[in-house]
Amino acid sequence: MGPYPTDATEKAYNGSDRNAFKFGFTPQAELWNGRLAMIGFLAYLLWDYQGYSVLREVLNLIH
């Protein structure tokens, strides 16, 4: 055993690393999908904050 205890969820998915970059309908792919979606959503919010909103212009939410 190393200096750090191992995380119990580290290999909880498919008996392999949960952060492995796997393709297909695997738990690892779904984790990466969620992470990248969060990054994309944050990027859109920052883009919108800077005044480059396409959505507001199309929907005419703010005149």
Q: How do residues 18-60 score in pLDDT, each as one tens digit?
A: 777 777 888 888 888 999 999 999 998 898 888 887 777 777 7
Task: Grade residue 3 by pLDDT with cuts at 50, 70 and 90.
Answer: low
Q: Output the pLDDT for position 43.
A: 93
**Number of compact structural domains in the chain:** 1
Q: Output the pLDDT for position 12.
A: 59
Q: Output the pLDDT for position 24.
A: 81
| Rg, the chain, Cα only | 19
Is 38 inside a domain boundary? yes
Is 47 inside a domain boundary? yes
Q: Output the pLDDT for position 28.
A: 83
Is 44 inside a domain boundary? yes
Q: Output the pLDDT for position 23.
A: 76
Is 55 inside a domain boundary? yes
CA angle 16, 27, 12 (to 5 degrees): 40
Is 10 inside a domain boundary? no
Is 49 inside a domain boundary? yes
3-state secondary structure of 16: strand
* Bridge partners of residue 13, in order along the sequence: 16
Is 13 inside a domain boundary? no
Is 3 inside a domain boundary? no
What letter represents residue 22's amino acid?
Answer: K
